[in-house]
Structure 1
Amino acid sequence: MPFAYPNPQALRAELLERVAAGETMMSVCAAPHMPSYFTVRLWARADPAVAEQLRVARLQGAWRRRYMFDEARAEAVLVRVRAGEKLHHVLAAPDMPSRRVFAYWRATQSHVAEELHRLHGDRRADRSRRNHARFRRFDPALADRILVRVGRGGGLEPALVADPQFPCRAVITRWRAENADFDREMKVALAVGRRRARCTPELIEAVALRIRQGASLAGLGLRRDMPCRATLYAWMRTRPEFADAIEQACRDRELELAERMVEIAMDCTPDTAGRAARRIAAVKRRLGRLSRLPGQTWRDRGVLE
């Protein structure tokens, strides 16, 4: 098909160059001196070579449109990073470039890479300053106060929470690793505290109530209002009144689960038989997990039952 333009080769070269640079073929054809989009399609149908050149140019243009550096969008990313946001959170926004596109910008635009390196360096330095401010060296006077508080009973965690000037457990762990004398004294204080912990009737009732509700001694030992785990298990071995109360609470819990299975079975209808069977199986699994008493080994299980 003959071309209707006086110099179609020059127009075609300009068209291919602009499309490969990132412009869409529709926007290029909208120029007054350029052929229409329909004419370009006719050229491509009439000449396979023109069609191949257009295909390659459009692929190059699509790649450039996706990865072409945009100073305004890059600056918007850097502004949010300067404000304290993390880079991967910023790039997750729909109006921001993708992580792959920004990685290409970072690799090809040196000023973007330098600015990000500076921001990350400032953030690391600030984090280092904060960590250094939180670093607490061993204080003998404070350590003595902690030992006295632990020796009164209740465990280490409640003792640290009792005074806002006391450090966290991680600091105590580091102090014990760095100072052998403090570690030895802490072991003595913990042992004394376990012996001094008071097993009152009110505390026994509170622990038994939690056991009936599905708690465990190991979980209760992590609570700040309860003795530590070692103390609770030591009471199971040394205090008969505590062990009897916990054992009765466990049996009450098993009885309640058994009654729940009976209720599920009685409320079952032919239409809900499958769902009822699954609910009963779930209760049975829980009953199997809770059948062993706190502090009881599997070898002793048959003896206690």
Structure 2
Amino acid sequence: MCCLGEMASFIPMPEGFPGYATRYCDEALGFGVGIAYLCKYLITTPNQMVAGSLVMQYWISPARVNPGVWIAIILVVIVFINLFGVKFFGEFEFWLSSLKVITVLGLIILLLCIMLGGSPTHDRIGFRYWQEPGAFAPYSKIDDKRLAKFISFWSVMVTAVFAYLGTELCGITFGEAQNPRYTIKKAIRLTFYRILVFYICSVFLIGCCVAYNDPQLLAAKKSTATAAASPFVVAIKNAKIGGLPHVMNACILIFIFSATNSDLYIATRNLYGMSANGMLPSIFSRTNKNGVPIYALAFASCFCLLAFMACASSSRKVFNYLVNVSSRLR
């Protein structure tokens, strides 16, 4: 990300990653980088929509309302937002991002209080779960415990990599940002601290508050699992804090919606950038009066229909399929 910031400050290019690969190396590499990045976000967008339908199942079971209903609602709303151009999109994402920051900071404080015994149960957990059952879950099919823990660590790496998608979003906004030599540099410099606080700190605390063999957490392995199996929700439930799990799931739903909206934007602008650079058909670089690449948006939106696979299978199963594909594209 720091290297990306250096290039963006030196030469802000609307083509993003493919443009830099082409300029500094070769056109073939630029095309390859662009296609790989495009495919990743064409898959990630429907994946986020499936995650949204999974969260909704916390309140309404799929037997009552088909997951396709929630997917359709999310699809219509994000396409509508992306039609209004970058100014409206940026304002919308600013407020959503502000809400996410406040929520995650509040969650970190809450987990710290639970860890130190500040919950209604007054149970001072501390590092108890690091001792019993342990900080790392061993892989069940291997007898050697050290090797089993090593294998289990790497088995979740695909999902962990997926969680970091989007940190490079700055690389797509060069062409539409005001004063990119200053704003992009500042945004990328803050990336390290955001990862440290919002990712590392929250994962560290949740590992202290929830044991890996918690019965509610193990429910995530079931095909009928919902957002109730989220470790944050499990930590709040174990602490006997009433009503807060609903609030937490509502926040998760907002986060997913924001990510879906951003992913569709990235896929659209990546198509536009490659088309403007002559790597894809010129029709994808045509824009409407708001400056939105309308045909690129339509093409990216068609891939969102993959999310409707959740109607014929469990949402969790489809979510895992798309996570595996998008993580390997990365």
* TM norm structure 1: 0.18
